[in-house]
Copies of this chain bind each other. A is one copy, B any other.
């Protein structure tokens, strides 16, 4: 998921989906990019499970994309752990002049 969001255009697409935008055409229009390119990025986001797609019941040509809330919560929790500043503990180097003798390899 991080890898998917690491691509600038894809991050914008994801952010627009968070704001409630749903169809390929609006994303392509607002970003000034081709529908095929947006389709590609939406596919990547869907493949990693960040978003879902749903066809219109009346006219299946339209596909509505939306954020996968479960994946969102999971990623949010993992990011909070990853970036938790309290995890950083004071620690002497295991090598170099300041290494504790017993740990030295």
Contacts and interface: CB of A to CB of B under 8 A. Distances in A.
Contacts of A67: 88
Nearest to A105: B29
A25 B95 contact: yes
Contacts of A3: 6-8
Nearest to A63: B96
A102 B25 CA distance: 17
A82 B23 CA distance: 20
A88 B69 contact: yes
B26 A95 contact: yes
Given A88-B18, A88-B69, A105-B29, A64 B93 contact: yes
Interface in A47-105: 56, 58-59, 62, 64, 67, 69, 72-73, 75-76, 79-80, 82-85, 87-91, 93-98, 105
